Amino acid sequence: MPSERLAIAQVTPFAWEAAHEVNDYVARVSGELARRGHRVLIVAPSENGALVRDSRRAIRSDNGSLLDRADGEPLVLGVGEVLPFSPTRRRAASLPLDVARTIEEALVSLPLDIVHVHEPFAPSASSAALRHSHGLNVGSFHAPTERILSTQLTRPLSRLLFARLDARTASYQATRDLIQPYFPGEYRVILPGAEAEHPTPPPDDAVRLLFSAREERAALRLFLRALRALPTDLPWRATVWSSRPLAPPATLSRALRERLEFVDADQMPEAQALARADVLVLGSEGLRPVPGTLVRALAAGVLPIASRLAPYEELLGQGEYGFEFEPGDAQTLASHLRRAVEEPALREQARARQVELRARFSWTRVADELEQVYGGLTARRHDTSANEQIRTRLRERRMIDVDLHMHTDHSYDCATPVEVLLAEAKSRGLGAIAVTDHNEISGAHAARAKADGIAVIVGEEVMTADQGEVIGLFIEEKIPRGMTLQETIAEIKRQGGLVYVPHPFDRLHSVPDYEHLLDVLDDVDAIEVFNPRVAITEFNDEAARFAAKYRVPAGAGSDAHVPQGLGSVRIRMRDFNGPQEFLESLRDADIIRNPASLLYVQALKFLQTKALPEAARRASRERRVRRATGRDRRRAAPPTGRNS
C-alpha cells in the first residue's frame, strides 16, 4: 500500500462504452492504482442512460460515500453524452449544460487530491473537469496528431485551461514535440502499457501478416500494393483488421483475395488478431498514426514493419526492434515483407524480445511513474501541522479585523496621506493593517510611527523584472524593483519577512504566471485570494483554488488607493505578534467581503491622482489630513442682530 492514500479522479473525454485507446489507458491505470490503495473515480461521458442517472443521483445525494465506494476498485461516474470536438464531424461538439454542471458538482464537492485529465482539449468532459477542478491537476496527451490538429479553432481556450495544469505527461516523445510549440510547458514522457495474449499456434506453415486499418485509407492501399509485389510462391497469409466493418476493395485480384481476409473488432478483438500474427504492418503517411497498436504488437512479440514516422521510430528504437520504410514507399515495404517471410530468424528474434518488451510496456511500470508524478505534486503542498505552542497562545487572543493590502501617498499612484489612512482604518474598526506601497517602504514606516491603537505591518509591493509584483510583509528595508522574482523573494526572506503574492492570476495586472509561481511555491508564505480591485471574479476564484490545493494560507486585502476603499475586504483572525504568529493565525482566518464599487473607487483614484491640477490635489490632501487629525475646526460665525 502506498505511503499516502490519494483520492484521484481520472477523466476521459470519450464515451466510456467506446473502444478507444484513451479509455483503455484510463481503465488499466485506474485498476492498478486502486489495487495499490488509492481511491479512484473514473469520470467519463456515457451513452448508458442508467449509468448517467445513477451517477448523478449519487453525486447530488451523498458525495462523501462516493470515495468510500471507490475502495479497491475504481468507480465509474457517467456524466452524460459528450462529443469531443472534431471538425470532421457533421454535428459540431458542444458541452451540454447539464453535463458541465454534473462535472462541476462532482469535482467541487469531492475532496480530491488529484484530478487527472486526458486529452483536455476544449470543449470536452476533460476540459470541463480542468475548469472546475479544486485538486492538483495532471494533464496527459496521448495521440500524436489526432486531437492536436483537430482543435486549432479552440486553441486560445485550451491555452487558458492548460495554464491550470500542475503537471503534464505525454505518451510519446513525438506527442511532446508536436504539442510543445502550440502549448508550451514541461511534459514528462510516460510510455503507455500493453497487455498481450499468448501467441496462437498457426493452422499451417504460412507466415501471418497483419495490417491495422486504424490508420488512414492511403496506408491500406500502400499495404495492398506491397502484397501484390510479393512473389506468389512465398508462404504467407494476410489479415486486415479494422475497428469497424470494412469492405475489401473491388479491384483485388482473385489470387490476393484467396490469401487476404478482412475482420473487424466484433469478429475478433485486436489483441486476438495480434496473438495470431507474425508480422505487423503500419503504413501511415502521418495523418493518423497508431503508436498504441505498435506498443501492443511489441509486447506480443510480433515483428513490426512501420513507416518512418516519429512515434514509430521512437518505439522501434531507430530500427532496433523492427523494419522501417519511407512513407508511401511500397517497394521498400514489399522488400521488408519478403525478408520477414523468408527469414524465420527475424520472427524468432521478435518473439525472444517479448519478455523484455512486456516489462517495458507493463501497466505496473505506468502506474509507478504516475505515482511519482502524483507524489511530486502532493509533496509540494504546504505543511499544515500546527505549532501547538503558537496555537495555544493564539487561542487566548482577541479577534481582530485585518486589511493586508493598501497604499499611501508614498506610492506613485496614490494620494492618501498616512494620517488619513490611519484615521480611516481606525474608524472602520480595523485592528491591524499592512501598508504595502509600490516599490517604497517609507510610507509603512511613517504609518507605524504615527499609529495609535492600530497595529501596522510594514510591507512593500515590489515590481520584479518580468514576473509581476510580490509583497514582502514584516520587512524593514526597502527592496529595489527590477530584480528577478527569485531574487526579490530571497531578499524578503533575508529580512525575516513573509512572501505574500497579490492578485496572482489577474491577467489585467502584471502578475507571475502559473508556472513561475510553481517554481517559487516552496518560498511563498501566503496568497491573496480576494482583491476587490480585480475586475473579473474568476481571477480571484482561481487564486483561491490554487491556495487551497497547495494548502497555502489565504489572505485578502482592499488594495485601497483611496480611503473610501479601505477595509472593503478584511480578514477576521486572532491578534498576533510577529510573522510566525501572524501566519499561524492566518490559517484559521475568515475572509469578510463587502467590497466597495470598483468603478467608484477607481474614479476617486483617478480624480485624486490624475484629473485635478496639482495645486488642487495638494489642497485636497491637506484638507483630508486636517480632518483626519481633528485640526479642521470651523470658526464660529460672528453673532448677528441688533446687539452685535
CB-CB contact of 588 with 571 (8 Å):
no
Please check whether residue 462 lies inside any domain of the structure.
yes
Q: Would you state the pLDDT for residue 95? A: 60
Separation CA 469–CA 413 (nearest Å) = 15
**pLDDT score, position 633:** 47
Quick one: pLDDT at residue 533?
A: 75
The confidence band for 623, taking pLDDT boundaries of 50, 70 and 90, is low
Higher per-residue pLDDT: 276 or 613: 276
Q: What average pLDDT does the segment 179-203 reach?
A: 86
In this structure, of 181-190, 439-448, 498-507, the range with the lowest mean pLDDT score is 498-507
Contacts (Cβ under 8 Å, ≥6 apart) of 270: 212, 241, 243, 293, 296
Q: Could you tell me if 61 and 179 lie in one domain?
A: yes
State residue 246's pLDDT score.
Answer: 85
pLDDT number for residue 86: 43
Is 352 in the same domain as 491?
Answer: no
Q: Is 633 among the domain residues?
A: no
| CA separation for the pair 27, 23 (Å, rounded) | 6
The region of weakest confidence among 58-72, 235-249, 303-317 is: 58-72
Least confident among 120-124, 218-222, 383-387, 614-618: 614-618
Over residues 601-610, the mean pLDDT reads 53
Strands 279-282 and 260-264: unpaired
pLDDT at 527: 94
Q: Are 84 and 93 in contact (CB under 8 A)?
A: yes
Domain hosting 148: range is 7-189
- 171 with 248, same domain: the answer is no
pLDDT score of 511 more than 90: no
Element (H, E) at 280: strand 279-282
Inter-residue contact 138 to 258 (CB < 8 Å): no
Q: Which of 157, 189, 221 is the last residue of a domain?
A: 189
pLDDT confidence band for 65 (50 / 70 / 90): confident
Q: Are 590 and 445 contained in the same domain?
A: yes
Average pLDDT over residues 338-364: 92
Model confidence band, residue 90 (pLDDT cutoffs 50, 70, 90)? very low
Q: Give the model's confidence band at 501: pLDDT under 50 very low, under 70 low, under 90 confident, else very high.
A: very high
Task: Round to whole Å and give the CA distance between 161 and 165.
Answer: 8
**Total number of domains in the chain:** 3
**Are 558 and 457 part of one and the same domain?**
yes
- pLDDT, the chain, mean: 86
Could you tell me what percent of the chain has a pLDDT over 90? 56
* CATH at 115: 3.40.50.2000
Q: Which of 146, 161, 189 marks a domain boundary?
A: 189
pLDDT of residue 12: 95
- Classify residue 624: in a domain, yes or no: no
Residue 147 binned pLDDT confidence (cut-offs 50, 70, 90)? low
Task: Specify the range with the lowest mean pLDDT, choosing from 391-405, 459-473, 553-567.
Answer: 553-567
Residues 174 and 241 in one domain: no
Q: What is the pLDDT of residue 355?
A: 84
Q: Residue 439: what pLDDT?
A: 95
Q: What is the pLDDT of residue 98?
A: 73
So what's the pLDDT on residue 454? 94
| More confident site: 67 or 91 | 67
What are 9-34's pLDDT values in tens digits? Answer: 999 999 999 888 999 999 999 999 99
414 shares a domain with 560:
yes
pLDDT of 69 reads: 81
Same domain, 116 and 231: no
- We report the CATH number of the domain holding residue 585 as 3.20.20.140
As a whole number, mean pLDDT of residues 174-203 equals 87
pLDDT value for 288: 84
Residue of 199 and 365 predicted with greater confidence? 365
Residue 404, in any domain of the structure:
yes
Same domain, 160 and 306: no
Q: Who has greater pLDDT, 93 or 192?
A: 192
Q: Is the pLDDT of residue 179 over 60?
A: yes
Calculate mean pLDDT across residues 505-523.
77
Dihedral sign, Cα of residue 55, residue 57, residue 60, residue 62: negative
The reported pTM is 0.85
Confidence of residue 59 (pLDDT cuts 50, 70, 90): confident
Q: How far apart (Å, rounded) are the C-alpha atoms in residues 512 and 503?
A: 9
Note whether residue 369 is domain-resident: no
- Span 460-480, mean pLDDT? 94
Kindly state whether residues 82 and 117 are assigned to the same domain.
Answer: yes
Question: What is the arithmetic mean of pLDDT over 623-643?
Answer: 53
Indicate the pLDDT class of residue 642, thresholds 50, 70 and 90: very low
More confident of the two residues 89 and 128? 128
Sign of the four-CA dihedral 266, 268, 274, 278 = negative
Nearest to 559 by CA among 535, 525, 542: 535
CA 292 to CA 315: how far, in whole Å?
10
Do residue 464 and residue 342 come from a single domain? no
Is it the case that residue 240 has pLDDT exceeding 70? yes
Residue 21 in domain: yes
Estimate to the nearest angstrom the gap between the alpha carbon of 59 and the chain centroid: 23
Produce one character per residue of 232-266: b if its CB has 16 or more CB atoms within 10 Å, e if not: eeeebbbbbbbbeeeeeeeeeeeebeebbebbeee
Residues forming a β-bridge with 41:
9, 75
The verdict on residue 57 lying in a domain is yes
Which pLDDT does position 615 carry in this prediction? 56
Q: Quick check: is 194 in a domain?
A: no
Q: Is the peptide bond before 269 cis (omega within 30 degrees of 0)?
A: no
In a shared domain, residues 97 and 46: yes
pLDDT at 156: 74
